[in-house]
Amino acid sequence: MFSGLDLVVQPADRVALVGRNGSGKSTLMKVMAGLVEADQGDIVIPPGKSVGYMEQEPDMHGFATLGDYASSGLEPGELYKVERAGEGLKFDPEHAVETASGGERRRAALAKLMAEAPDLMLLDEPTNHLDIEAIAWLERELGSTRAAFVLISHDRAFLRALTRATLWIDRGMVRRQEQGFAAFESWRDKIWDEEDQQRHKLNRLIKSEARWAVEGISARRKRNQGRVRALQALRAERASQIKRQGSAAMALESGPKSGRKVIESKGVCKAFGSQQIVRNFDLLVQRGDRVAFVGPNGVGKTTLLKMLLGQVDPDEGSVMLGTNLEVAVFDQARAQLDPEMSLWDSLTGDPEMRVSGKADQVMVGGQPKHVVGYLKEFLFDDAQARAAVKSLSGGEKARLLLAKLMAKSSNLLVLDEPTNDLDVETLDLLQELLDDYDGTVMLVSHDRDFLDRVATTTIAMEGNGQATVYAGGWSDYIAQRGDVDQKKENITKASKSKVKQEAKPKAGLSFSEKHRLEKLPAEIARLEAEIAKLEELMSDPELFAREPVKFRKATDALVERQTKLSAVEEEWLILEEKAEAG
């Protein structure tokens, strides 16, 4: 994993711990927590200082409820801290341990750590299974704490906001930089560039010395044994250099083109008892769109997604699916993986990947491949091929699921929390793959940075049946929501000064016209944001030569949205004048 590590964590340190999946991040954190004994060396904790570790799979044996576990070890006067953390992290202290999901157990473990408030907090992927509201709460809590913490996370926005130093595990070496995660990628690339230059110089020197050794045979009876030994030493140095782990060789297999219209919903309503999921929801998804669903856990994102895929019937309204659809699903619960099966059997046993008469091959993009060779493309080694799925880390399970997903052709990709447990480099690659994917993407995610990189449309589900469509990713949604909220606030202030007018619709407008007038500012803002993004894309002077198809699509989309914006602005003007005249 790593060796020769000297590490000091100072009071109030805020450290990002980064590295590829399998590099030893969690192991190092457990060594720091005293849960795993180092092979050699010492871990020293000053007297009176406490260390707390958020366990990935906490042992709750002997506890009846999540609250019992989270409050264990606290004084009676400190129990309010668990209740406060429970509200912020959205876990129910009264929930029975035996029926709690893995995510609920992890939230309880995180609440326990936050309530205990040790001098050093060791946090291993704390944002997994948290929605964006809970992540924001945790970000505020950690931002205001006086305690030191070391943080493992795939969430770039979370790391950038909180960390002031970075520990990087790379090929058994641990490096430290006194800057937060925001500076990590440039630091990493600089180190790799220096390594490449040094390796290039070493290769040139070995080549020169090897030529001398060969040519010297004919020129001299005796070789200069000192230079020969030096050449052997250079070769040994090159052999001892550890090769950087490459990126997973992932490639999405695009199926036949779907129809231009992929999904259209009109007036969709859905409720479970008193819980309204959506009300009067309209959406048009066209080929090539990247649609993200955001909102608190339990608000109904997955239900809405299933309705749009035709897997759940709406109570009212209609959903029409386009033609020629081939759907591939990435399931956040990893339900497609049998923990008892080996990686080999997990691939060869898949009916869609099986090659008739070939027990050691899988079908990938219509072509047979040796199963071990395919696993190596996703950074698994020979020994892991026969290992059980349950022995994999969270990131490795995600990579295995991606290997299954990417072997099959599709034109509609459904990704449910794809970023959980993936390292930064694999996330970068996944984003690039989605950029190049010819089909349509629908995803559920709480990773704000990933949403900004991928989504072209964001559907915000805010409860009580509200599901609003915004252009762009997370940052675009926040900006547009702010504009809409400001308009609503101005309207509310004006209404309060006119109590009589508040009790009835604007004179001159029907109820449906008044409702339409209230919705138009948000629609105008959305179209303006879409136009701005398209204009920014087309400002690249090389786009037409480099990607003519993308340029043509962007041009068509820009004309369409400008035409729509003119029509919507005209509609707003007519209704506003009618309202004022009334």
CATH number for position 107: 3.40.50.300
What's the maximum distance between 2 C-alpha atoms anywhere in the chain? 112
- Is the pLDDT at 248 greater than 70? The verdict is no
One domain for residues 291 and 386: yes
One domain for residues 160 and 221: no
Please tell me the predicted confidence (pLDDT) of residue 498.
41
One domain for residues 346 and 231: no
Q: Give me the torsion for CA of 130, 133, 134, 135, rounded to 10°.
A: 80
Count of residues for the chain?
A: 582
> Does residue 491 form part of some domain?
no
> Does residue 484 form part of some domain?
no
> Does residue 254 form part of some domain?
no
Q: Going by C-beta distance under 8 Å and a sequence separation of 6 or more, which residues neighbour residue 16?
A: 151, 153, 159, 162, 163, 165, 166, 167, 180, 181, 184
Amino acid at position 174, single letter = V
Instruction: Count, in order, helices (H) and strands (E) of the chain.
Output: 19, 18
**Alpha carbons 453 and 451: distance in angstroms, whole number:** 5
One domain for residues 430 and 521: no
The whole domain housing 136 covers 14-179
> Does residue 307 form part of some domain?
yes
Please tell me the predicted confidence (pLDDT) of residue 501.
42
What are phi and psi for residue 19, nearest 5 degrees?
160, 165
**Alpha carbons 352 and 356: distance in angstroms, whole number:** 11
Q: What percent of the chain has pLDDT over 70?
A: 83
Please tell me the predicted confidence (pLDDT) of residue 541.
66
Q: Which of 96-100, 151-155, 210-214, 453-457 has the lowest mean pLDDT?
A: 210-214
One domain for residues 456 and 439: yes
**Do the Cβ atoms of 386 and 408 come closer than 8 Å?**
no
- Is the pLDDT at 485 greater than 70? The verdict is no
Domain boundary among 130, 163, 179: 179
One domain for residues 296 and 438: yes
Amino acid at position 200, single letter = H
**Alpha carbons 482 and 187: distance in angstroms, whole number:** 35
Determine which helix (DSSP H) or strand (DSSP E) holds 462, and give its type and residue range.
strand 457-463
* CATH code at position 575: 1.10.287.380
Average pLDDT over residues 496-515: 54
> Does residue 430 form part of some domain?
yes
372-428: pLDDT as tens digits: 998 888 888 888 999 999 888 777 888 888 888 888 888 999 998 888 777 777 788
One domain for residues 163 and 292: no
**Do the Cβ atoms of 9 and 15 come closer than 8 Å?**
yes
525-563: pLDDT as tens digits: 888 888 888 877 777 767 766 777 787 777 778 878 887
> Does residue 246 form part of some domain?
no
Angular region, 393: left φ>0, alpha ψ -120 to 50, beta rest: beta
Record the pTM. 0.68
Q: Which of 132-146, 430-444, 504-518 has the lowest mean pLDDT?
A: 504-518
**Do the Cβ atoms of 18 and 181 come closer than 8 Å?**
yes
One domain for residues 348 and 412: yes
Which pLDDT band, with edges at 50, 70 and 90, does 213 fall under?
A: low
How far does CA 426 lie from the centroid of its chain? 10
Cα atoms in the Cβ-side hemisphere of radius 13 Å centred on 382: 0
Kindly report the average pLDDT of the chain as a whole number: 82
> Does residue 360 form part of some domain?
yes
Cβ atoms within 10 Å, residue 455: 27
One domain for residues 304 and 451: yes
Give Cα separations from 293 to 129, 296, 442, 480, 516 (angstroms).
Answer: 15, 10, 8, 16, 24
> Does residue 494 form part of some domain?
no
One domain for residues 147 and 290: no
Indicate the number of domains in the chain: 4
Please tell me the predicted confidence (pLDDT) of residue 116.
92
One domain for residues 570 and 509: yes
One domain for residues 407 and 462: yes
Q: Which of 44-48, 110-114, 126-130, 317-321 has the lowest mean pLDDT?
A: 44-48
